Structure 1
Amino acid sequence: MEDDNNNKIVQDEPGESYEFKYNFVNTPWDDRTLKSKVGIVTLLIAIFTATMACVIHNLITHFDRSSHHLSEETNCNLVKVDEYKYVARIHLVETQELLCVGAVLSLTSVLANSVCTKSGPIRMRLGSPSDPRCKKGFSVDVLEPVNYEGVLSKLVLLSSYENMAECVQTAIKVGNSVNWKSQAYIIGRPLRGGRSLSRQPANLVDLESQNPGFSLRNPNIKETICVMDLGKCPVRAGDLLVQNGYLIGLASTSNHAMDQSKLACFADIRVVRKGLNNIDSDIISEK
């Protein structure tokens, strides 16, 4: 009957069997040929060597960078914060990282590069870092943009609702003139935060009468001051350019790797004196 045929169990044909076959991966070690064993050992050595090479390369790169940064800081002339009491230190609230420096222009105002305000909430530390009243710093509650048409930088005036007067021991005056033949100094942020600042001499470049051998993207010469013949100490955004005790420039951008001309450019503070006074009448300029 058909039902009997459909219910029959199909049996394997006599002599048919399934044999498990080993391959290169699952063959037991004792069953491998000498050539196979040598191949596996060689492969493992190659993998171990490549892994160690990557680890060593990463370690060398890390220490090279650390050594380079240490070398840069060694070449920076460091001075104590107390020697330049008109320099504000701008810190990131979350990590306490020193982002940049600014110029204390009055009992209530600090001039800074706008890039220093874009990483998150910040605090300004003024006065001596050893003074417990000033160690905590001050919140930035008011941020006033300064009318400046330079293409390299935007300037902002920072102030706080807290009383900063007790920590503002001195303010710097805004310069009205520049002596292109006289040396200026750059006061800036060191590589590592702390109780020091970087200080380096710089020779001014009169862009209107000289060709420094570089090009700026649509430079507004009348609102830019450039310096050259800098050493290995990097310039960072917001660093102060000072001549004869007056503030004449604020660094436009960070310049870690100097080019062959060893040149850096600053926003010319002279052209915004009137705008600064409109915001804060207590800001004093050179007569």
Structure 2
Amino acid sequence: MEMENNSESTKTIADLEREEYKFSFNFVNEPWDDRSNRSKIGIISLLVTIFISTMALVINNLFMHYRGFDCGSFNSNVEIDCNLVKVDNYPYAARIHSVSSNKLICLGAVVSPTSVLANELCIKSGPIWLRLGNPTNPRCKKGFSIDSMDSIPHDGTITKSLVLLTNFENMKECIEEIKIGVDIDPKNDFYIIGRPIRGEKTLSLQIATYDAHDKTALEILRSYDKDKTICVQTVGKCPVRAGDLLVQNNRLLGLASTSVHRRDKTNTACFAYLNIVNKELKAFHIDIESNKF
């Protein structure tokens, strides 16, 4: 009889352990109506805690992101009005992209069948590659690698240098060369061909005029040799980015020395005058031609 009682006691303990294990194992899947009030309160408290923690993180991230937000700057950016043109309208404008991010970094100018002239700032972000001509043309769309880079000293830029990017592939189907201009016609308009604010199939195009006595230009030129820099006044609020092209009479005169994003603050932009390095460019068999006005 005693053995039977021990057996029943052992069986009861084993059943209780199995039930407890079963309860723990099915805790998540247990129907709501079958839960105790304590269990319901615990779950509700857990969900509320998770929700509050998540909202706190979101609010903190938003605060950190917009802590330095400038409403005036935002409104200024909204008012930016750029005249956009198709990239294939200017096949001498090369788009320089980052290899790692594929982001459009800046522009260069096709100055020979194999070479692109650019601001040295364009290569400071790491390896680059070129996109030329019509972006829908399969031959051009694939882009071109850089086979060699040659530095050309120029005191009209922050880096004190321009760079000649060379690719030895056949790029004729995707390019059109532009000759380097020697003379400036102060009476005629200039055109600035620039990197667009967004997208990769357009370029910005804006008109500019020459004014050697502009006060802003004189202030900017304190950091440069004024004889090696061209400063112009732009029309509108479109940004000028480092490396943008300054063209007059279908001749390339300069590459933007630096970026000017706040067009509401100044309408002056300065460019490295390419006539200063015409001897160096001729050494690379690049055409230099005087403007005939």
TM-score between the two structures when normalised by the length of structure 1:
0.73
Find 2:167's aligned residue among 154, 157, 160.
Answer: 160
The two structures, once aligned, show a CA RMSD in angstroms of: 3.0
Is 2:182–2:288's contact at 8 Å kept on the other side of the alignment? no
The list of structure 1 runs, each at least 4 consecutive aligned residues, that deviate by more than 4 angstroms after superposition, is 47-70
Does structure 2 retain, via aligned residues, the 8 Å contact 1:138–1:160? Answer: yes
Deviations 1:43-93 (A, max 9, x none): xxxx999878656656777897996586266x1110001111110000111
Counterpart pick for 1:124 among 110, 124, 130? 130
CA distance, structure 2, for counterparts of residue 192 and residue 65 of structure 1: 21
Q: In 1, Cα distance between the equivalents of 2:240 and 2:149?
A: 24
Q: Could you tell me which residue of structure 2 aligns to residue 281 of structure 1?
A: 285
**Kept in 2: contact 1:151–1:218 (CA 8 A):** no
Determine if the alignment matches structure 1 residue 171 to structure 2 residue 177: yes
The 8 Å contact of residues 237 and 264 in structure 2, kept in 1 or not, is answered as: no
Looking at structure 2, the residues matched to 223 and 152 of structure 1 have their Cα atoms a distance apart, in angstroms, of 12
Task: Supply the distance in 2 between the matched residues of 1:149 and 1:120 (Cα, whole angstroms).
Answer: 23
Q: Partners in 1 of 2:179 and 2:130 — Cα distance?
A: 19
Q: Deviations over 1:156-212 (max 9, x none)?
A: 1110133323322x1111111101121101001001131100001111122xxx242
- 2:272 maps to 267
Q: Which moved more, 1:150-159 or 1:184-193?
A: 150-159
Which residue is 2:254 aligned to? 249
Listed as ranges, the gaps of 5+ residues in structure 1 are 1-46
Within a 5 Å distance, the mapping from 1:103-252 to structure 2 comes to 103-153=109-159, 154-168=161-175, 170-206=176-212, 210-213=213-216, 214-216=218-220, 217-252=222-257
User: Structure 2 CA distance, aligned partners of 1:246 and 1:100?
Assistant: 19
The letter of the residue matching 1:237 is: A
Contact 2:181 2:288 in 1 (8 A): no
Q: 1:214-266 CA deviation, whole Å, 9 max, x = no partner? A: 41334211100011244211000100001111111100111112363321110
SS of aligned partner of 2:121: helix
Change (3 A) 1:66 1:286: same
Secondary structure of the residue that 1:166 maps to in structure 2? Answer: helix
Instruction: Please give the alpha-carbon distance, in whole angstroms, between the structure 1 residues aligned to 2:108 and 2:58.
Output: 46
Paired with 1:163 and 1:67, the residues of 2 have a C-alpha distance of: 44
AA aligned to 1:281 is H
Partners in 2 of 1:52 and 1:143 — Cα distance? 46
Q: How far 1:124 moved relative to its partner? A: 0.7
CA distance in 2, matches of 1:167, 1:251: 24
More helix by share: 2
Quote the sequence identity (%).
Answer: 47
Letter in 2 for 1:160: N
What's the secondary structure of 2:219's corresponding residue?
coil
Matched residue type, 1:120? G
